[in-house]
Amino acid sequence: MRAYLLAHPEVMREVSQKLDDKDAADEVAAHRRAEATLPAVRAALEHDPADFAANPKGRITVTEFYDYRCPHCDNIAPKVMALIQTHPDVRFVFKEMPIFGPVSEHAAQAAWAVKNAGGNYLGLYQALMAAHALDDATIDRIALAHGARPADLAPGSAGAVKAQIARNTRLFNQLDLGGTPAFIIGNQIISGEDMGSLTAAVARAEAERA
C-alpha cells in the first residue's frame, strides 16, 4: 500500500478532496437543521426580558450571540453599532454568550448590572468591545462609568445573570452555533464576521415589510 501511494500521490489528493467535500456537506446539513429549529425557539431568541434590545420598537429583529473577549466580536462591534444607528426599524437583541471563561462571565454580569440599573448599555457594549485586554477591574470600572451599581457587580449578585447565560447557552447549543459572533434574522443564521450577509438579510426583510 505504501509503495502504491508513493507511486500514485494523486490518490492522496483525491482522498483529501473527498474528505473536504464531506466536511463541507456535513456543515451545510447541520446549518440547515439548525435553521429548521428556529421557529420553535423564536420567543426565547427574541423576547427574553433579561436581554437588552436596541431600537425596541423595530419591526425587524436581529439577535446576536457574542462574547466581549471574542476578537471577531470586537472587530464587528462598530458595524453592529452602525447598523443599529442607521436602521431604526431593526430591533437588535444582545445575547450574552461568554465562551472565554470567568472574565467573559464577569463582563456578562457587568452588562446585566448596567441593564438592571437602567444605565447606558450600548455605551458599555462599545467600551468593552474597544478595550480588548479585559480584566475584572477594567470591566468594573467601565460598568460603573455606564451606570452599574457596585452591589450588582459583586460575586453574590451573579445569580440572575448565570440563569440568563444558562438559557442562552441552551439556545446556542440547540442551534449548533459553534462560535461567536452568530446572528439570527428571521429563519437565517449568519456566522462570524459576515456583515455583508447580515446587511443583505436586513435589506430583504425591509423590502418584504415595505
Would the CA dihedral through 42, 46, 49, 50 be positive or negative? Answer: positive
- What is the per-residue pLDDT for 24? 47
| pLDDT greater than 90 at residue 159 | no
pTM: 0.84
Neighbours of 201 (CB within 10 A): 19
- What is the per-residue pLDDT for 26? 42
User: How far apart are alpha carbons 112 and 115 in whole angstroms?
Assistant: 5
Instruction: Calculate the dihedral angle through the C-alpha atoms of 48, 53, 59, 63, rounding to the nearest 10 degrees.
Output: -70
Question: pLDDT confidence of 20, banded at 50, 70, 90?
Answer: low
Tens-digit pLDDT profile for residues 128-157: 999 978 999 999 999 999 999 999 999 888
> Three-state DSSP class for 61?
strand
> 207 is written with which cell numbers?
423590502
Mean pLDDT of the chain: 89
Which class for 188: exposed (0-12), middle (13-18), buried (19 or more C-beta within 10 A)? middle
- What is the per-residue pLDDT for 210? 72
Higher model confidence: residue 174 or residue 11? 174
User: How far apart are alpha carbons 153 and 137 in whole angstroms?
Assistant: 11
- What is the per-residue pLDDT for 110? 96
Higher model confidence: residue 127 or residue 22? 127
Q: Which residue has the cell 453599532?
A: 81
| pLDDT greater than 60 at residue 78 | yes
The CATH class that applies to domain 42-209 reads alpha beta
- What is the per-residue pLDDT for 160? 84
Q: Any alpha helices (H) in the chain, and if so which ranges?
A: 2-7, 10-46, 71-86, 102-116, 121-131, 136-145, 150-153, 159-174, 195-209
Task: Return the bridge partners of 137, or none.
Answer: none
Neighbours of 203 (CB within 10 A): 11
What integer is the mean pLDDT of 13-40?
Answer: 65
Domain boundary assignment for the chain: 2-38, 42-209
User: How far apart are alpha carbons 139 and 47 in whole angstroms?
Assistant: 26
Which class for 159: exposed (0-12), middle (13-18), buried (19 or more C-beta within 10 A)? exposed
